[in-house]
Structure 1
């Protein structure tokens, strides 16, 4: 069954939303620009709907030059057919997307990944070898299996992998996960991989995972044992510093914090909500403890507001600020 077509929007409003995305995401936006944007959001309900759609697409273009991102976003939002989208992506690859990005890894393939989740959605699916994959909010993965190995490619976001026994293969095939920062070999039945701004986080719940940063040289490998975490980039690796977040909670549909800094908690919660969710500096160092259901983001905000004497400022549905209660 085909998906229903999204509600049609005035092309002029879509164009405005794209312009705002470029200004806010791909340029340095001052407070005056942000206030003007908030006023635009509040003018008409269609502005909020257009922003929600374009803002979700904009996650695909982190690091891409503004003009290129603007052209591609506009085509996608106008209802470009899959064949036309593939053609455009092919053109981008031909003219050298990697050169524009200044690195080999590009986020564009996540648009066409085999498995994807939207903002606020968690999904799970099973691979041919019996492995169970859980996708966190706004995540994308591909899988590439052959006779010698099993490869999972994390295009964006975060996954939990429960490694299957691969019983139907005539030989034991190692399972690998590739991220933008390197490659990992699983020796465990359950582990987590998350792409962060400062690198790739890997955590093992059972067994272990061997991490090969960058080009995968064995001399630079690090072993992550059960109960441990490692944060690595293409050039180095270090033990991940715990900030009070239960890394595994989202797999059960919850966000669980133990004396976690409020600013960090709100940043984590914002992953599950379209639009902007931010925390005022005046309350950012307050501490949060508790377990909250991710399915109701607004209720989470209401609960912490009650316990920490906060005010939740809903300027629009897509622009929310956590401040001190007066």
Structure 2
């Protein structure tokens, strides 16, 4: 099918037509879509030139973004199905209305999880209790979408970090509990574990039970047992190592450093603080050790200044902070 041009003002599409195109797009990207659904969509497309233009826009959206964005495909946990479907269709129709020139900008925004169902701000932590009894704690600056249906319990970590404490599935037919990130999927095997989405890598630490990790692009699956942690990309899981207490200290509101570069300590604290927190290159390699309150960055900065030869220069009423070498005077 040849795409139809739709960039001129004369070809502006009726919102009702975009709503219908969004409904077909969501329907055909559902795992339960049938050949009858696809034939019905084709009949709708051919019934009106405006329908053809709207469907061309829908196809261009999928091509441009590499598939229907996950945030539009994962219903919100605990919401009525009808309300969830309305919200999903509304998001999809709104995205179609943006047009191709704005889709990549939308994807850059959505990749940070700003449109996710559950989000935390800088410095915020939030506890969620799921209908099956599973508990999730979202760390600072995190974003999570959820999908519970007859076949699965899926947690899509879009950004940030979370602690998952699984519960037995109350459904008659037990459903696997999986955590998805950009790099792959981790299936819980009766467990308590943390997951962190970094830039191009996922970190997992297992406190209890075990987790089975499957990289997104077909790498070898790895079972990670309690007391172990690892990182993985889309193609491969790193060799697991012993659990490091520093990696799970955030669950107690702490940042643990043992000979850590000051630049790395500052980068971690910056995740918990609104505004800008940076480190002057002159002190970036300073080695830092200690336990710092991650959720009280003012206190953590005070501890650094009182212990090491650095000063905190604050501007814009504390919204811009730079750690610099302490002056001799």
Q: Could you say which residue in structure 2 is the equivalent of 1:208?
A: 210
Specify the alignment match of 1:12 in structure 2: none
- Specify which of 95, 108, 113 is matched with residue 100 of structure 2: 95
CA contact (8 A) 2:144 2:156 kept: yes
Q: In 2, are the aligned partners of 1:107 and 1:156 still within 8 Å (CA)?
A: no
CA pair 207-96 structure 1, distance change in 2 beyond 3 A: farther
State the shift of 1:304 in Å: 0.9
Q: CA RMSD in A?
A: 3.1
Relative to structure 1, the CA distance from residue 90 to residue 292 in structure 2 (aligned partners, 3 Å threshold; closer, same or farther) is farther
Q: How many residue pairs align between the two structures?
A: 239
In the alignment, the residues of structure 1 paired with residue 257 and residue 241 of structure 2 have an alpha-carbon distance, to the nearest angstrom, of 14
* 1-structure distance, mates of 2:213, 2:203: 10
Question: SS of the residue aligned with 2:174?
Answer: coil
Quick check: 1:201–1:240 contact (8 Å CA) kept in 2?
no
The structural deviation recorded for 1:87 is 5.3
Question: 1:170 maps to which residue?
Answer: 172
TM-score, normalization: structure 2? 0.65
Q: Is the 8 A contact 1:105 1:180 kept in 2?
A: no
1:149 aligns with 2:152: yes
TM, length-normalised to structure 1: 0.65
Q: 2 CA distance for matches of 1:224 and 1:287? A: 31
What is the rounded CA distance, in whole Å, between the counterparts of 1:235 and 1:97 in structure 2? 30
**2: CA distance between counterparts of 1:324 and 1:109?**
33
- Structure with bigger gyration radius: 2
1:111 aligned onto 2:114: yes
| Higher RCO (CA < 8 A, seq sep 6+) | 1
Provide closer, same or farther for how the CA distance between residues 87 and 273 of structure 1 changes in structure 2, counting only shifts above 3 A: farther
User: SS of the counterpart of 2:271?
Assistant: helix
Q: Deviations over 1:204-262 (max 9, x none)?
A: 111111111114x4x621222222222112122324789x8711111122222222221
Q: C-alpha separation between the residues in 2 aligned to 1:261 and 1:241?
A: 21
**Higher mean C-alpha deviation, range 118-127 or range 197-206:** 197-206
Give the distance between the partners of 1:257 and 1:306, measured in 2 at CA: 16
* Counterparts of residues 1-326 of structure 1 (less than 5 Å): 88-92=94-98, 95=100, 100=104, 107-108=110-111, 110-166=113-169, 168-215=170-217, 217=218, 220-239=220-239, 246-316=246-316, 317-326=318-327
The runs of 5 or more residues in structure 2 that have no matched partner are 1-63, 65-86
Distance 1:163 1:96, change over 3 A: farther
